[in-house]
Structure 1
Amino acid sequence: MARPILLSLGSVNADFQVRVPEAPDPGRTLPATDFTRLSGGKAANRAVLACRLGHPARLLARVGDDDLREQALAPLRRAGIDLGGVSVAEGVATAVSMIAVLPDGKKSIVLAGNANDSWRQEDGEAAAAAIAAAPAGSLLTVDCEIPPDVAARAIAAARGRGLAVVLDPSPADRVRDAMLAQATAVTPNPSEAEGLTGVRVDGPEAGAEAARRLAGRGVAIACVKLQDGGCVLWQDGRATHIPAVPVEVVDSTGAGDAFAGALAVALLEGRPVLEAACFAVAASHLAVTAFGSQEAYPGRDRIEALLPRLAAGQRALAGR
């Protein structure tokens, strides 16, 4: 029997990243340092983490027919990711992400979706067919930096095949009700949770309420990420707060993708949901301790070592 795989559908980018001393003002040239050209994109990042944690991953994505596609794909190829589901959009540029990282590790991103938004009907059909043909027990991860109809069709194909689905609902305005109702788990950050539920997520109790409202829209497992790096898990009518623990924040780029990727890996491995959420929080914590996204992703040993500290702080919550 073929080994289950992680299918990662969504964005792949050529990233251009710098450090800046402060947020830029209009009309002012701001000096920057540490210019780096990287591979990025939500789907690409999740696939990299899965491979780093020992699981085969297949990327379902679109790149352009320009020279930037190798910047985006070469590191993924070296990581061992199956790129057979990546197609080329003729006459379209590869997606580009321009990232400025502040001294406190927070980042600002300008994203040109380009090929990420250039899916033809036949490309969506090919992705759905690849999902339907995946080995039993595989899992689909999806983000919304691609056309909503492509994401929705892929989720439906996965559920029709009996595969679990982890949805990163970013950007939130592309999320459809059917995506939420069919997803196994959803991983919004505070702004995305507010966009989906109307709840301003300014702490754990508000996170629990947002998660409860997501459950009311059919979400089985809601993991609402908190600003401090912790999260609120909602499952079976219960909310659990997994608080953040102190780490040195160097660069927050890609931390949310590490969360979604690690949650998917843990569910793929059959871990209990609360343990899987802790695994995801640990991965996202460690992802912020180095510069870049894929380059900063931790191995399994570091994630497992952080789990006892996170588990010790868990507490039950009630939605407000």
Structure 2
Amino acid sequence: MDRLTLLSLGSINADFQVRVDEPPGCRETLLAHDLCRLSGGKASNTAYLAARFGHRSILLGRVGDDELAEQALGPLRDAGVEVDGVGRAAGRSTGVSMIMVPPDAKKQIVLATEANDCWDDAATDAMLACIDGCETPACLILDCEIPARVVRRAIQTAARKGIPTVLDPSFPDRFENDLLSTLQAITPNRSEAEGLVGRSIESMEEAANAARELQQAGAPIVCIKLSDGGCVLAVENETLHIPPGDVEPVDTTGAGDAFTGVFAIALLEGRDPREAAAWGVAAANLAVTGYGSQPSYQTREQVEQMAGGLLARATVVDG
């Protein structure tokens, strides 16, 4: 397999994760246990996966000039991710994600974006120069947990360079829909898809309609990640449901990032979008079987083994 290049641009955080034995919000103060301090953030997680799958992985983003920066970057550096493209925001904290995992494994997150939102002209220009100077073939994996103006310029620069972009539109209100036609693919979850199309999505058919609407607005490939771990894929003239695997969830933290990262990797490797989506579903499903995001990510061999069975069970969805 050729070693390809994946650029991950977006949020870089220090994660503080705990387990709680009651649902968040049921009382003012909850007892927690199993505190973990981890590297996290959407860009960090996809960069970690790119390195784990054997490719050159370049992380782009912003951290603070504090001690939390090493918590965010150290594990990535150890995994082989190139972090020289990560800038430091003077006088600001590194982004912090505070994560509670209740008994049903469905995490709740409070995100303080901090340095992720601190992009001056020099930082933006340095990031764009990295994209423009990147060896191809390459792919840009991007999220919207950084300023919208930075997202726009990165997508436009990648398009001029001929680098395909796979976008995770979190937060959807930071994404401008006129950019859809410059993407290769977009991977919202259900709530993000609702934000993009401006209406609620309550059923598989409504998810399929939303996927087709985003496709008609310009995105060649649309994957809507479903809460059960499956996805709805709109590609060419076909809309498919790829079902989840049979797994026992422990913690859903980072599962959506696993989908986007592995999906982008599979597309860059030349796999058909249907197969790539099955790889994404498999990666997300395997991710929920462990605690934390990056520590729970599985190997290429495990993902490939599960993906084949999922693709065989895929069905066409009528809107």
Fold-level match, TM-score > 0.5?
yes
Residue in 1 that maps onto 2:230: 230
Residue in 2 that maps onto 1:166: 166
Is structure 2 residue 294 aligned with structure 1 residue 286? no
Do the aligned partners of 1:201 and 1:226 also contact (CA within 8 Å) in 2? no
Counterpart of 1:295, as a letter, is P
Distance 1:30 1:196 in 2: 34
Q: 1:272 to 1:129 in 2, by over 3 A?
A: same
Residue in 1 that maps onto 2:311: 311
- 1:147-162 equivalent positions in 2, closer than 5 A: 147-162=147-162
Do the aligned partners of 2:258 and 2:297 also contact (CA within 8 Å) in 1? yes
Do the aligned partners of 2:24 and 2:100 also contact (CA within 8 Å) in 1? no
- In the alignment, structure 2 segments of 5+ residues that lack a partner are none
- 1:56-135 equivalent positions in 2, closer than 5 A: 56-135=56-135
Distance 1:71 1:188 in 2: 28
Moved more, 203-212 or 79-88: 203-212
Counterpart of 1:241, as a letter, is H
**Cα deviation digits, residues 11-59 of structure 1 (max 9, x gap):** 0000000000122337621101101100000000000011111111000
Residue in 1 that maps onto 2:272: 272
Report the alpha carbon displacement of residue 205 of structure 1 after superposing the two structures with TM.
1.4
Distance 1:276 1:216 in 2: 21
Report the alpha carbon displacement of residue 8 of structure 1 after superposing the two structures with TM.
0.2
Is structure 2 residue 31 aligned with structure 1 residue 31? yes
Counterpart of 2:195, as a letter, is G
Distance 2:208 2:87 in 1: 39
Residue in 2 that maps onto 1:175: 175
Moved more, 308-317 or 259-268: 308-317
Distance 1:250 1:22 in 2: 15
Do the aligned partners of 1:12 and 1:61 also contact (CA within 8 Å) in 2? yes
Q: How many residues align?
A: 318
Residue in 2 that maps onto 1:40: 40
**Cα deviation digits, residues 79-117 of structure 1 (max 9, x gap):** 010011100000000000000001111011000000000
- In the alignment, structure 1 segments of 5+ residues that lack a partner are none
Classify the secondary structure of the residue corresponding to 1:233. Answer: strand
TM-score by length of 2: 0.97
Report the alpha carbon displacement of residue 266 of structure 1 after superposing the two structures with TM.
0.2
Counterpart of 1:308, as a letter, is G
Identity over aligned residues, as a percent? 52
Counterpart of 1:157, as a letter, is T
Classify the secondary structure of the residue corresponding to 1:250. Answer: coil
Distance 2:143 2:44 in 1: 11
Q: CA RMSD in A?
A: 1.3
Do the aligned partners of 1:11 and 1:146 also contact (CA within 8 Å) in 2? yes
